[in-house]
Amino acid sequence: MAKPKNETAATQLRKDDLIVIGGAGGFIAGSLVRYFAEQGFKRIRAIDKKPLPEWYQRVPGVESLCMDLSEWENCVRACEGAVEVYNLAADMGGMGFIERFRVECLRSILINTHMIEAAYRAGAQRYFYASSACAYNTDLQKDPQCRALKESDAYPAMAERGYGWEKLVSEMFCQEYWAERGLRTAIARFHNVYGPNGTWDGGREKAPAAICRKVVEARDTGRHEIEIWGDGTQTRSFMYIDDCVKGIDMIMHCDKLIATPINLGSSELISINDLVSLAEKIGGLKLKRSYDLDAPRGVAGRNSDNTMIQEILGWQPNTPLKVGLKKTHTWIAQQYKDRKSGKRTVS
Ligand code: NAD
């Protein structure tokens, strides 16, 4: 099959068009800001509610603003003059966070509700929304050897309580803004993204970062033990951050995908036990495992069916897990060392 000819920001925008990115103090949006800046886009407005010193990445030359995007007036200010708006701001974290703080997760609805209206009123050409595989019907995810989830599996709806339902409703906003008002919206359902410059400690971190940190800690303290949440048989797929930002760009600029939720993830399924083994190999040590069966573990199995994204965009992740995890481990090991020596770090 011939490779589709893809549109991207580079083929559609002028270098001085204003790109607005919400959640830019966070993991994925921070990398998206860097990605566009490295392509020579000169007007990028990055926004997060976190104070600037706590952002994972600050890119020189980018207008970086600390604002709460759940407030309407701030969204109006954020979207002023925007040609494209990327909304990746959300109150979120790994299973430990989203199972415990459902109200916070649900309240992210305010961010998308205001941002999309502000983008529309500002006359933005395109609007991107970061959805999640947590929008999928949880009944289909009860087996570690689950079949991969395809886009139509979100309905009939039985999303993850709190976080997943917020994603599903926000997706619907994006679809109706296109149907009724003609705003070109793009919706990617991310499946577990990992990599450097993301949360690695403090309660919001996801499995790959948490496991790398535990390996680093074990090496440092000499206590060669690791606690695993659940029985370790639960399976997931993990996408490296560089593949993710490239995918966002391609999805955003594809007219065939307007208002169409699409998977953006890896289809390389791995159990948490095997992820730990991989991290041990990278860290060069073996740990005694204990299992906390009462800890949040999420669904039993979840994988991404990439048929649609391969057919329409020819996109596939090209960073093998062992390569991406090594880079993540190296970054976390450095953060750990810096923190220990009293340097300021972002967790
Ligand atoms: P992150 O927590 O690192 O980044 C989100 C950022 O949004 C944070 O910096 C946070 O301070 C900011 N934020 C929260 N509320 C805000 C508000 N009211 N105003 C302004 N900023 C606010 O998370 P991430 O991993 O970078 O995720 C980005 C998006 O992708 C989120 O919508 C998330 O739900 C989605 N997603 C991520 C993953 C993943 O594996 N990381 C998977 C599925 C979906």
Cα 193 to middle of ligand 1, angstroms: 11
pLDDT of residue 298: 82
**Ligand 1 closest atom vs CA 92:** 2
For 70-82, what is the mean pLDDT? 98
Examine the residue annotation and report whether 163 is marked as an active-site residue of this protein: yes
Contact of 145 with 301, CB cutoff 8 Å: yes
Q: Where are the domains of the chain?
A: 9-194+239-264, 207-236+269-300+320-339
Query: How large is the average pLDDT for residues 98-105?
Result: 93
Q: What is the mean pLDDT of residues 188-204?
A: 94
C-alpha closest to that of 34 among 251, 207, 262, 198 = 198
CATH hierarchy code of domain 207-236+269-300+320-339: 3.90.25.10
Domains 9-194+239-264 and 207-236+269-300+320-339 share a fold: no
Q: Residues 94, 236: contact at Cβ < 8 Å?
A: no
- Identified catalytic residue from 163, 177, 194, 240: 163
Whole-prediction pTM: 0.96
CB under 6 Å to ligand 1: residues?
22-23, 25-29, 48-50, 68-70, 88-92, 111, 130, 132, 190, 192-193, 198-199, 206
Q: Which CATH number fits domain 9-194+239-264: 3.40.30.10, 3.40.50.720, 3.90.380.10, 2.40.50.40?
A: 3.40.50.720
Rounded percentage of the chain residues whose pLDDT exceeds 70: 99
- Residue 253: which pLDDT band, with cuts at 50, 70 and 90? very high
Res. 1 pLDDT band, cuts 50 70 90: low
Q: Any idea what the Cα angle at residue 76 is, between residues 72 and 77, rounded to 5°?
A: 115
The candidate with the shortest Cα–Cα distance to 150, out of 161, 163, 141, 160, is 141
